[in-house]
Chains A and B, each alone.
Chain A
Amino acid sequence: MYDDTRYPLSAAVVERHGEAWRMIASSGPFWTAAERVEMVAEARAAMYCDLCRRRKEALSPFAVQGTHDSVSDLPASLIDMIHRLRTDPARYTRSVFAGVIAMGISRERYIEAVSVVNASVIVDTMHASLGLPLPDLPEPEPGDPTGQPPPDVVDEGAWVPITRVSDRNVSDTGLPGSPNIARSMGSVPAAVQLFFTAFRGHYALRDIPLAVSQPQAEFIASRVSALNECFY
């Protein structure tokens, strides 16, 4: 990954993206490796999906009905969720989540999919931003989903239960030691691990190990949050 770039990309990012890609190609707690790789393929297909394009142009994405240009055998509600999350996160609402759950997909399976798709968003955005072709999809390993022990989670007002924590102290970063974003996928610890393997080299709350200053990194973060209408 990133072998052909002339740009000086952080070695930590290169290493972690490779690791994330290998993790995606392994069975998760609730989805097979083949299904996880299909989620990445579906996220990519969303970028060229005619229904997604028409929804993006509409005043409300819920006003436009149709069929996605899909490339997988994943459940239809999951395909819809992946396409919406990839192409129009600003207007992703609770009803999309509820629609997936209503079709019999558990919250845990939903969270694992969110992790896989968003890890791939990071990897693909990094490649495309540097003018590189997207990396080949990883070859999925055989095997069934691994399952997981019951997670220690709590309802604190998110759409899904989040990791239970005891440390509520706020640091001078303005965030508690365990911010909600780190707890949000706590129902599936492997999903937390995958996503933050992909993300970790991209930012730090202090002493950011990149050639941009902390305020510059946070200006960028703020702008992305505004573009994606991220309340958090």
Chain B
Amino acid sequence: MLLRASGQRENRHFNLNAVNEEGSDSGVEHSGHLRALTEAAVGSRWEALAAIRDKAAAAMGQQAMVDALTVAAGFNGVTRVADATGIPLDPGTQASTTSMRADTGIDSFDYAIKTARYEGRAAAEG
């Protein structure tokens, strides 16, 4: 949702679906490297990350590579705060992002839906 707002501020259109679709062009510069860095960092794939860092630094510059990992590390914490407190969307965001959330699949992350999905599966397996 922040990416959508950022595009609106800069009068640019970013392909939000590309966040979840590898190979899709998001319109964000170096998004392939950003994706690789982020996925390795959040997935704790530390050995693979060494080579990914080198490739990304060669393409983006070392400072940008480090700062990309800085953003990823921060959001690896802040998303857990949201996940652990079940906060609702902010006022205004709920209404203004309805179609975007549906298109990108974000609605499936709704905390009530997730609870039903994962605890329902457990009941079915049990």
Q: Which residues of chain A have a CB within 8 Å of any CB of chain B?
A: 7-10, 13, 47, 59-63, 85, 89-95, 97, 111, 114-115, 117-119, 121-122, 125-126, 128-131, 156-160, 162, 168, 170, 172-176, 179-181, 183-185, 195, 198-199, 201-203, 205, 210-232
Contacts and interface: CB of A to CB of B under 8 A. Distances in A.
Contacts of B44: 47, 128
Contacts of A218: 2-3, 6
B76 A228 contact: yes
Nearest to B66: A7
A168 B94 CA distance: 14
B75 A114 contact: no
Contact of B73 (A125, A162, A184, A205): A125
A176 B91 CA distance: 8
B119 A174 contact: no
A170 B119 CA distance: 35
Nearest to B76: A125
B70 A121 contact: no
Nearest to A64: B122
Given A93-B118, A121-B76, 9 more contacts: A59-B125, A117-B80, A119-B77, A129-B49, A131-B50, A172-B9, A214-B10, A221-B2, A231-B109
Contacts of A223: 19, 34-35, 38-39, 42, 72
Given A62-B119, A203-B75, A224-B38, A180 B87 contact: yes
Contacts of A227: 38-39, 42-43
Contacts of B31: 216, 219
B119 A95 contact: yes
Contact of B67 (A10, A181, A184): A10
Given A122-B74, A184-B85, A220-B34, A225 B5 contact: no
A184 B66 contact: no
B84 A179 contact: no
Nearest to B30: A216
Contacts of B111: 93-94, 159, 231
A219 B49 contact: no
A224 B76 CA distance: 6
A225 B79 contact: yes
Nearest to A200: B74
Given A215-B3, A224-B79, A95 B115 contact: yes
